[in-house]
Amino acid sequence: MYQETIFSKIIRREIPADIVYQDDLVTAFRDISPQAPIHILIIPNKIIPTVNHVTAEDEQALGHLFVVAAKIVQQEGIDESGYRLIMNCNKDAGQEVFHLHMHLLGGKNLGKLIS
């Protein structure tokens, strides 16, 4: 088993978070340091440190991240205006918590990702 993270505690509701969605596979909650008006993290409930650690048995949960993202953008009213989904892998990409997670960003024009 991989090392526990702060996200593990959020999943188990041991620390407070603004959870917008949770089921048996994934949890989604608002980022405490938002980089856009809407900034939600969607995480698998199983600890997977990085994309490098994904296995075939994770396929259902990781596919479900996108299904949940589609539900959330509709709830947030940004499905038509647009949004960005980002996953960082390891330190050079900016990953800070080593529990795979997808950033859902929207609520404004986000501009180019890379210039």
Catalytic residue among 53, 64, 99, 101: 101
Backbone conformation region of residue 104, classed left if phi is above 0, alpha if psi is from -120 to 50, else beta = beta
Rounded Cα distance, 68 and 57, in Å: 19
Task: Please say if 103 is a catalytic residue.
Answer: no
Measured between alpha carbons, how far is residue 81 from residues 71, 92, 103, 107, 109 in Å? 15, 30, 17, 8, 9
Strand ranges in the chain using DSSP code E only, listed in sequence order: 19-22, 26-30, 38-44, 83-86, 102-106
Residues marked as catalytic: 101
